[in-house]
Chain A
Amino acid sequence: MVDQSIAGAGTVATASDGDRSGRARIAILALCLGLAVAVLLSLTSGASDASAVSVVGDWLLGAAPGNEALSARDRLIVYDIRLPRVTLGVLIGAALAVSGAVMQGLFRNPLADPGLIGVSAGASLGAVSVIVLGATVLAPITSMLGTLALPLAAFCGGLATTLVLYQVATRRGQTSVATMLLAGIALAALAMALTGILIFMADDRQLRDLTFWQLGSLAGATWQKIGSVGPVIVLALAAMPFLARGLNALALGEATAGHLGIPVQRLKYTAIVGVSAAVGASVAVSGGIGFVGIVVPHLLRLAIGPDNRYLLPASALLGACLLLLADAVARTIVAPAELPIGIVTAIAGAPFFLWILLRKRGVIDL
């Protein structure tokens, strides 16, 4: 039973009056500070000696004449190499974590995650189609859409997968965990097989692009890439807060959410399109970065409770922080080479996921 599976989380102490909103606000404030620190550290760590003080100094002085807080070389490194990468990390971390939280609310299930249930695989299929076939079969479409082709294809792939999954796994507003996970496996397998065919057709140059991209990476972040997916992610994230109340009501079931005045059908479709857009855009630039969407909301629910009004913004902030952290690990652990960030999130996230399952063992009824 779904509702029983969560009872374990109740061991965490709660405010005696049952109102966790004060605590949640403090947590969000702390996460804002944490993110600021993480951004600054990411901008200043690496093979250049630009210090945090000089970066902040340069930023404060801006275009003021005589601003020599950073040397020309450091400025190039900070603004043209590190800042795009950090920006992308923040956008994608936020997008993945919020998508996870929204999807869990939508499926009424804490195990729903875009990576786990095949949505990312569907998005990958869309993206790989464009990478491999963009110059040949799909040329008329890609030339028309330009840099939007890749994120758009990923979005369509993710959307198609989510819609199929939702239809298959949900009956009368109740999602079966088993059906959802198994259908996700089937859809992911199908998407990956089709992706495999495309990879088989790829030439050597495309192949190198694909391998690194598939494992998930923030390397190669440019302002141009951010320009093509940033607006999509920002738009999707901006829409999510409007879903918060509806998702809270949905925790009581679709019928009750409707009784409370929520237009449930519209809520569901907005959520599905928003998640597909955010995940599609993320996958298009950085490949499959797994587990952020499940780990972040889960940790936050333990800390501040499941109220989506706070859970969604807090997920965005913590997702961004954790992805910057993972990127720092990916960049430094095998320096001067670099690991794909997807490997880092999987190594940290997969055991965490197992831990969630262990805690719920016996009460989760597949």
Chain B
Amino acid sequence: MIEARDVSVAIGGKGIVANVDFDMRPGEIAAIVGPNGSGKTTFLRALSGDLAYSGEVTINGRDLSVMKPVEAAMLRAVLPQATTLSFPFTVREIVRLGLLGGRSGALPGEDERLPERALARVDLDGFAGRFYQELSGGEQQRVQLARVLCQVWAPVLDGKPRYLFLDEPVSSLDIKHQLIIMNIARDFARRGGGVVAILHDLNLTAMYADRIFVMHRGRLAATGSPQDVLSDDLIEKVFDCRLRVGVLPAGDMPFVLPQSAV
């Protein structure tokens, strides 16, 4: 269970996120959507413990603001929007860093094999020996996801749910890998964990999210199930774009939706 009450974040005296209420239960995927600069990343960073905030955040009933880094590391893993690397690590070495602070929750003695298993899950079999800096952007993003998966390999540890915080996990991926990654998230939630994901693709959001939080100018503009939230009015108000939900393109214009995946 993650609960955030009246969370506001200011950076350098400038208010960036204001009065956001957020809550999610284990077993769910919570999607945060909203236009560029609406404060999604800033809010997730507050939830990750990176930024000072006013208001109250609890994870599994424990106050985030008094958690030590290592305690938080056992409760959740964070995939940032972008990661820069300062030294030439191999892919395996990067993924293994996921095992550094927290507890993977894998069976005893299995930790050494986790990097390979995590890489296989994100469809990067055989990449372990490559240099991270020589991979494409999408491949790098999947390596980071494999690292994050190692950190909370078991979605439930000691009977308590754990969480994945994903900031635009599929933005640089092709459609096949978007589906692979979103299925990993869904699987994590079905096995008792929770997922908070910032997404841009409204179709993927509708397909995978149990709850949507729409951010607009640092505030929560709407929240609820995809059916409740995704309306023509809301999209026009928040994204400043006149689109119509569920309307097919005219004539024989082709369109491809992730929902059609078989």
Contact = CB atoms under 8 A, between A and B. Distances in A.
A253 interface: yes
Contacts of A78: none
Contact of A9 (B69, B88, B93, B101): B88
Interface in B78-92: 78, 80, 83-92
Interface stretch (A89-97, A214-222, A225-233, A243-251): A243-251
Contact of B85 (A3, A260, A264, A307): A3
A261 B75 CA distance: 10
B107 to A, nearest CB: 20
A105 B89 CA distance: 13
Interface string B48-59: 111000000000
Contacts of B90: 14, 18-20, 305
A306 B89 contact: yes
A260 B92 contact: no
A301 interface: yes
Interface in A239-267: 245, 248-253, 255-256, 258-264
A82 interface: no
A251 B102 contact: no
26 contacts: A2-B84, A4-B133, A6-B85, A6-B86, A7-B131, A7-B134, A9-B88, A14-B131, A15-B129, A19-B90, A19-B92, A109-B86, A174-B84, A248-B97, A250-B86, A252-B83, A252-B97, A255-B78, A260-B73, A260-B100, A262-B69, A263-B68, A263-B70, A264-B69, A301-B87, A307-B93
A167 interface: no
A81 B123 CA distance: 62
A40 B91 CA distance: 41
Interface in A1-55: 1-4, 6-7, 9-10, 14-20
B128 interface: yes
A249 B97 contact: yes
A291 B74 CA distance: 41
Nearest to B126: A16
B39 to A, nearest CB: 17
Contacts of A20: 90, 93
A271 to B, nearest CB: 14
Given A19-B92, A249-B101, A3 B129 contact: no
A115 interface: no
Interface centre among A18, A251, A262, A263 (most CB of B within 10 A): A18
Interface of B: 45, 48-50, 68-70, 72-74, 77-78, 80, 83-94, 97-98, 100-102, 128-131, 133-134, 151
A312 B90 CA distance: 18
Contacts of A2: 84, 86
A264 B101 CA distance: 12
A302 B84 CA distance: 20
A261 B72 contact: yes
Contacts of A184: none
Nearest to B49: A258
A18 B49 contact: no
A108 interface: yes
A293 interface: no
Contacts of B151: 260
B41 to A, nearest CB: 11
A256 B49 CA distance: 11
A20 B88 CA distance: 12
A110 interface: yes
B114 to A, nearest CB: 13
B86 A263 contact: no
A148 B80 CA distance: 47
Interface of A: 1-4, 6-7, 9-10, 14-20, 105, 108-110, 174, 245, 248-253, 255-256, 258-264, 301, 305-307
A98 to B, nearest CB: 16
Nearest to B116: A17
Interface centre among A1, A174, A256 (most CB of B within 10 A): A256
Given A14-B90, A248-B97, A251-B89, A258 B131 contact: no
B95 to A, nearest CB: 9
Nearest to A108: B86
A4 B134 CA distance: 9
Contacts of A7: 88, 131, 133-134
A111 to B, nearest CB: 11
Nearest to A12: B88
B87 A260 contact: no
Contact of A3 (B73, B92, B133): B133
Contact of A10 (B48, B68, B80, B133): B133
Nearest to B134: A10
B125 to A, nearest CB: 12
A341 B166 CA distance: 53
Interface centre among A14, A109, A252 (most CB of B within 10 A): A252
Given A10-B133, A248-B97, A259 B48 contact: yes
Contact of A256 (B83, B89, B92, B131): B83
B74 A261 contact: yes
Contact of B101 (A18, A251, A262): A262
A258 B70 CA distance: 8
Contacts of A255: 45, 48, 50, 78, 80
Contacts of A1: 84
B129 to A, nearest CB: 4
Contacts of A109: 86
A249 B77 CA distance: 14
Given A248-B97, A264-B69, A17 B88 contact: no
A362 to B, nearest CB: 15
Interface centre among B45, B88, B134 (most CB of A within 10 A): B88
